[in-house]
A = this chain, B = another copy of it.
Amino acid sequence: MSTAPIFRRVALIGFGLIGGSIARAARAEGLASEIVTTARSEKTRARVAELGIVDRVLESNAEAVQDADLVILCIPVGACGPVAQEIAPFLKAGAIVSDVGSVKGAIVREMAPHLPQGVHFVPAHPVAGTEHSGPDSGFAELFINRWCILTPPDGTDPAAVEALRAFWAALGARVEIMTPDHHDLVLAITSHLPHLIAYTIVGTADELAQVTSSEVIKFSAGGFRDFTRIAASDPTMWRDVFLNNKEAVLEMLGTFNEDLSKLTRAIRRNDGEALFEHFTRTRAIRRGIVEIGQDSAAPDFGRPHPPLKKAE
């Protein structure tokens, strides 16, 4: 243990990619004296017990949150309201309740009304993930150098916000605070719209008559494969994101469609200058992302390139 525990007992509701990564990192860093987890399916609970990362694996959310200082819902956005209602009577006075959902306005609307006075509600969104899910998919390094956005409602106890900030910082994240509505706009363009577009184009490729699926898969290195990774993300999670951040996503989609029409028109009219100008501008944005360390400049994202001499 490398750090003094920030919380005595942490309860994680759900042990998927995010819950499992929090558990692994919190354990590695000694951030909690005890970590309790729940999982809905018996199979997952058996696997979590086997992994030996947490102190207790329970079926009952109500039981898990009892006496917990920090409760984090690590479940799809659509499930957060009902779970808040379920655990509310069992929360300890002074406990911090948080989540990891990719949408924040809806989380506040769905969860806040159920939570009792004397409990501190600090919604959170770690902007990190992979396309994998399930109890084995997490890893302790997932949050390092990634942002975690906290969206505490007006009037939240600053000490609770600070404790959760310290927890996420100890997991390796850089923490930022903003309003739920602004969060939802920022994520609509940086995450939700990209996922929607990726889901669309991967579906389009799957339905073509002139090009077979096996050709699409074979020649995917030309660009398509970069879309398939995000289009392989958890379907339940993403269904909930789109249903719960509908207005912001539809707004961004409107702007995207206008811009796509503009480029389409340039192609149709052979306007090489307009295309060149646009493509030059987007290159600069990429440089910004690499410079602040949110991606690797290594060729091909550092995908493995086997040596030229292969053993036959």
B residues less than 8 Å from A142 (CB atoms): 299, 305
The one of B194, B279, B306 in contact with A227, judged by C-beta atoms closer than 8 angstroms, is B194
B residues less than 8 Å from A227 (CB atoms): 194, 197, 226
A242 to chain B, nearest CB (A): 5
Assuming the A-B contacts A226-B194, A256-B204, are A305 and B210 also in contact, with contact meaning beta carbons closer than 8 angstroms in the complex?
no
Assuming the A-B contacts A232-B286, A283-B231, A296-B303, are A272 and B243 also in contact, with contact meaning beta carbons closer than 8 angstroms in the complex?
yes
Assuming the A-B contacts A190-B224, A308-B140, are A199 and B285 also in contact, with contact meaning beta carbons closer than 8 angstroms in the complex?
no
Q: Counting CB contacts under 8 A, is A88 at the interface?
A: no
Q: Is the CB of A279 within 8 A of B239?
A: yes
The one of B146, B278, B296, B310 in contact with A304, judged by C-beta atoms closer than 8 angstroms, is B296
Q: Which residue of B lies closest to A194 (CB)?
A: B223
Q: Which residue of B lies closest to A212 (CB)?
A: B186
The answer for the CA separation of A305 and B301 in the assembled complex, in Å, is 12
Q: Is the CB of B299 within 8 A of A203?
A: no
* Copies per complex of this chain: 2
Assuming the A-B contacts A187-B222, A272-B239, A276-B236, are A267 and B294 also in contact, with contact meaning beta carbons closer than 8 angstroms in the complex?
no
B residues less than 8 Å from A288 (CB atoms): 213-214, 217
Q: Counting CB contacts under 8 A, is A185 at the interface?
A: yes
Q: Counting CB contacts under 8 A, is A275 at the interface?
A: yes
Chain A 164-184: CB-based contact to B (< 8 A → 1; otherwise 0): 000000001000100000100
Q: Which residue of B lies closest to A125 (CB)?
A: B222
Q: Counting CB contacts under 8 A, is A43 at the interface?
A: no
Assuming the A-B contacts A226-B226, A264-B250, are A201 and B193 also in contact, with contact meaning beta carbons closer than 8 angstroms in the complex?
yes
Q: Counting CB contacts under 8 A, is A92 at the interface?
A: no
Q: Is the CB of A206 within 8 A of B139?
A: no
7 contacts between A and B (CB under 8 A): A28-B308, A129-B222, A186-B216, A189-B224, A243-B267, A296-B303, A302-B304
